[in-house]
Amino acid sequence: MTEWRTEIASSGEDGKIRGQDMEKVMGMEFADAIWLLLKGEEPGAEESQLFNTVLSSSIDHGVGNPSTVSARTVQSGGNDMNTGVAAGVLALGDKHGGAIEEGMKTLQSQKTPEEIVEEHLERGEKIPGLGHKVYDDRDPRAEKIFQKAENLGLKGEYAEKMKEIKNVFAEKKIPLVINVDGAISAVMSDLDWDYRLGKGLFIIARTPGLVAHVREEMDEDDFRREEGEYIGEE
């Protein structure tokens, strides 16, 4: 019989999370408990404030994105809360919610901003963290995160590297805004987080928004149907 082995948590009357008694964890702020669970240590006071801002920045962004549309559409078919929310999470991918992981991986590489831009241009690929369909000149969420990091004394080399990538790309092609994913990628890298947690961070942050949308959809008429136009041959 295979035995699960983990450093994350224990169960039973003396259950612990990362070595901390459950009673202590229950007294923590929720964002701090998430930090403890994922990173294996408690955040400092400044780290806690910045992490809370990061999570709040991605909690929701309207109804038109793939995850929210998926969650509400699935719920409208007569499914339960967990099914609708799961559908929303499953809609998250490299082009929606996945840029944080790729952005962290890119920033944490040993490549210079110039090398990063050149490689992406040669491959015809977008640079994770640059550009947004809604924000042309500035992403206020990204600016808030960078400002918070600076105010807390946590702005580091990766935040500077992200801004340099933006400048190099503007020189070589066109100016693009640093979006919220780029800001999160930078500050979470400065906070020494593993890039493989990038998608997980977005899932955690966006889930409350999905829950809210699914709940609202429950009050709508069943079976949401969008108009479509047939353009094939008659």
CATH assignment at residue 165: 1.10.230.10
Residue 149 belongs to some domain of the structure: yes
Residue 224 belongs to some domain of the structure: no
| Cβ density class 140-149: b for 16+ within 10 Å, e for less | ebbeebbebb
Residue 94 known to be catalytic: no
pLDDT in tens, 131-157: 988 888 899 999 999 999 999 999 999
- Amino acid (1-letter code) at residue 74: V
- Amino acid (1-letter code) at residue 109: S
Residue 31 belongs to some domain of the structure: no
Q: What is the pTM assigned to this prediction?
A: 0.92
Residue 67 belongs to some domain of the structure: yes
Range of the domain at 130: 44-217
Residue 120 known to be catalytic: no
Q: Which residues of the chain have pLDDT under 50?
A: none
Alpha-carbon distance of 101 to 115, in angstroms, equals 19
Annotated catalytic residue within 32, 181, 190, 213: 181
Residue 29 belongs to some domain of the structure: no
Q: Is the CB of residue 96 less than 8 Å from the CB of residue 66?
A: yes
Residue 14's pLDDT is: 86
Residue 131 belongs to some domain of the structure: yes
Annotated catalytic residue within 32, 120, 132, 139: 132
Strand partners, 9: 17
Residue 21 belongs to some domain of the structure: no
Q: Is 233 helix (H, G, I), strand (E, B) or coil?
A: coil
Alpha-carbon distance of 224 to 220, in angstroms, equals 8
Residue 71 belongs to some domain of the structure: yes
Q: Give the count of domains, the chain.
A: 1
